[in-house]
């Protein structure tokens, strides 16, 4: 008689992430700094570059900070997040395919 062992893996994350409240809505975009975070998926750059033009021309944002993740499949680096938080009033994380 042969016995076998089956290992069952739990796909859930090992730790629970902290719940956070939503950020307060900005009263407007004029004069604000907006971060655009690209995830490097196909066409995300096209979408975010067009969004940048619209934000600057139609919504009078003062500055756009455009950053890219290392890979769409990896979490964003802490350095990138810190840079966006330090500089931006709001951030758009663009994904596409």
pLDDT band at 52; cut points 50, 70, 90: very high
Residue 91 CA: distances (Å) to CA of 2, 31, 62, 87: 58, 15, 14, 10
- Three-state secondary-structure class, residue 9: coil
Taking the CA atoms of residue 32, residue 38, residue 39 and residue 41 in that order, the dihedral angle to the nearest 10 degrees is 140
The b-or-e profile of 60-85 (16+ CB within 10 A means b, else e) is ebeebbebbbeeeeeebeeebeeebe
The tokens describing 49, both together, are 């570059």
pLDDT score at 21: 81
Question: Has residue 17 got a pLDDT over 80?
Answer: no
pTM: 0.75
């Amino acid at each position: 008689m042969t016995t076998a062992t089956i290992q069952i893996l739990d796909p859930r994350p090992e730790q629970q992430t902290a719940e956070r409240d939503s950020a307060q809505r900005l009263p407007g975009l004029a004069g604000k700094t907006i971060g655009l975070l690209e995830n490097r998926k196909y066409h995300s750059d096209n979408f975010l570059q067009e969004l940048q033009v619209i934000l600057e021309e139609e919504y009078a944002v003062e500055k756009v900070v455009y950053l890219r993740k290392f890979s769409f499949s990896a979490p964003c680096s802490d350095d990138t997040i810190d840079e966006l938080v330090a500089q931006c009033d709001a951030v758009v994380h663009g994904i596409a395919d």
